[in-house]
Amino acid sequence: MALPETTGELRAEPLPENTAPQMIAEDVPPAPNSAVVALLDNADQQSRIGRLDAAAAALERALRLEPRNAEVWSRLAEIRLQQGQLDQAANLAAKSNNLAGNNVSVLARNWKTIAQARSRKGDLKGAREAQDKLRELEGKR
């Protein structure tokens, strides 16, 4: 199927319908995916018995199914915090924040993770800032 040549001048073509910048995500919550739910349960079980690597692996599997699921990123951040991987914990929580939209409970968990990661790294000022964010969110709940 040879497509028409389009590198030349576009002048003669009709205007495309959708030229205004594509806006932007109504914030539709994703339908709960039973596979992701099952993997979250699995991660919970694994972390309860102290198998944190296996819990993290289950969460990574869930992220392959739903890479934009803020809750899964948030849980992975918490596992990394438990494992003492403080930089990863903070980065993963920030990633979750970036996808959480207005999900106050996920945002709050993330700021809690960030606050703890920062304070354990000795970044007390940063930890206080995160605590402030956390309080602000808890006010909204």
Partner 1 sequence: MTRRKKTLLRLAAKMALAMAIITVPYVLYLDFTVRTHFEGKRWELPARVYARPLELFQGMRLTPAALDAELSDLGYRRNARLDAAGQYSPGDNELRFVTRAFRFWDSAEPSRKVRVAFEGGAVHELQDFESGKTLDLVRLDPVLIGSIYPAHHEDRVLVQIGEVPPLLIKTLIAVEDRHYYRHYGVNPVSIARAMLANLRSGRAVQGGSTLTQQLVKNFYLTSERTWWRKLNEAIMALLLEAHYSKDEILEAYLNEVFLGQEGSRAIHGFSLASRFYFGQPLNELKLPQFALLVGMVRGPSYYDPRRHAERALALRSLVLDVLLDQQLITAEEARTAKAAPLGVIPRAPSGTSPYPAFMDLLRRQLKRDYKEEDLTSEGLQIFTTFDPRIQKNTEQALDARIAQLEKQYKIPAGRLEGAVVVARNDNGEVLAVAGGREARYSGFNRALDAQRPIGSLVKPAVYLTALSLPKRYTLATLLDDSPVTFNNPGGKPWAPQNYDLQNHGMVPLLGALAHSYNVSTARLGMEIGVPGVVRTMKRLGVMRDIAPFPSVLLGAVELTPIEVTQMYQTIASGGFRAPLRSIREVLTVKGEPLQRYPLSVEQVYEPAPVFLLTTALQQVVSAGTARSVIQQLPDGLTVAGKTGTTDDLRDSWFAGFSGQHLAVVWVGRDDNRPTGLSGASGALRVWGDIMGTIGADPLRLTPPASVELARVDLQTGLRAGPGCADAVELPFIEGSAPGEISPCADGGENSIERFFKRFFQAQPARSR
Could you list the residues that contact partner 1 (CB under 8 A)? 2-3, 5-11, 13, 15-16, 18-25, 27, 31, 33-35, 37-39, 53-54, 56-58, 60-61, 63-65, 67-68, 76, 87-88, 91-92, 94-95, 98-99, 101
In this complex, which beta carbon is closest to partner 1, that of residue 77 or of residue 112? Answer: 77
Distances (CA, A) of 98 to 51, 74, 94, 126: 28, 11, 6, 18
CB atoms within 10 A of CB 12: 6
In this complex, which beta carbon is closest to partner 1, that of residue 7 or of residue 125? Answer: 7
Assigned token pair, 129: 């800032």
CB of 47 to partner 1, least distance (A): 13
Measured between its terminal Cα atoms, the distance across the chain in Å is 56
Residue 128 has, within 13 A of its CA and on its CB side, a CA count of 2
In this complex, which beta carbon is closest to partner 1, that of residue 13 or of residue 139? Answer: 13
